[in-house]
Structure 1
Amino acid sequence: MTERANKTMLPVRRDLIGATLLGAAGGVLTGQLSPASATESGKSQTPVLKALRPAGVPSADAGYSPAILASGGQLLFISGQGPEDYNADMETQIRQTFDRIGLLLEAAGGSFANVVILRSYWVHMLRDLPTYRKVRRDYLVEPYPASTAVGTPELAIPGLELEIEAIAVI
């Protein structure tokens, strides 16, 4: 990249860093899907979520959908959330994390039924993923959200072993 191009990109990069830092602080960001999704009163329409499971795409009954088609409503982006007690057993930590996500969904007028994607990050993914799959069924409803689990050597806070972020259509 040339020096001139680098200087013109600097404000954009600063904006991205600011948004990332806001997200790391546990913020919630909402945005309209499209101007057409709002009614004349300014309120969003009730979202419609449809699981997509076309032939040729693996879709085991593992509590997630390969894709979710969402229409109507607003987008809610929930930054990565973690448990309150890092020393609790992993099932408790997962439940505490989902409870925090639930509070953010409620603050936006939604519930777990509105979640279209979950992204989870794990320090001990192979050890903890079976517990996660069991617990999340207590929170999620069909159509299950699209979902990705990522193993990582560490997370942003020392002692934190899981973090879950979500996107919902409300």
Structure 2
Amino acid sequence: MGSSQSSDKLHCNRYLNGQGPPSLVQQAKEDVNGTYRAGHGSQPEGQMTWVILHRDLPGFPNDNTVQINYIFPDGIQTKKHPNPGQPYAGIRLCAYLPDSREGRKVRKLLDKAFNQQLLFTVATNQDGKDMVTTTSIPLKTQPDAGSKVDGYPDSEYLKTVRQILKDKGVE
């Protein structure tokens, strides 16, 4: 994937019903569907792009920021989703990485995981609505809100996400 920008406004700091995704620990311990499929997951059709922002992330004062944009339009579920033939709500989500050597490695791994359909899936939320959501691979969706709400600073994130990706066969 290359660097590109969309004229559409991305709602980067909103997630599903306005609340953040599960914590990194929660995401690492449980997959949304409860199972992991080797090779290809249940990710619906979507797009991943990235761009370099000329600002730093807390904890990475000497690096620019990589903003990864994920866009999944509304769609109809397939047999790999919980309710085949039924509609689901899409999502627009941004994730952030430092533009450092290690951050660029993680971006490439996330790109591989996206292409293997491992980053997102369709799941039913608390209101009974089917929608696109992240799987057990954690993403930093807040550039500077702290590690408790999936933001920075978080000195362990790059190491943690690399290990989770490795455990899922993405190296």
Bin for the TM-score computed over the shorter chain: under 0.3
TM-score computed with the length of structure 2 as normaliser: 0.26
Q: Which has the larger radius of gyration?
A: 1
Q: Hey, which of these two has a bigger chunk of strand by percent?
A: 1
Q: Hey, which of these two has a bigger chunk of helix by percent?
A: 1
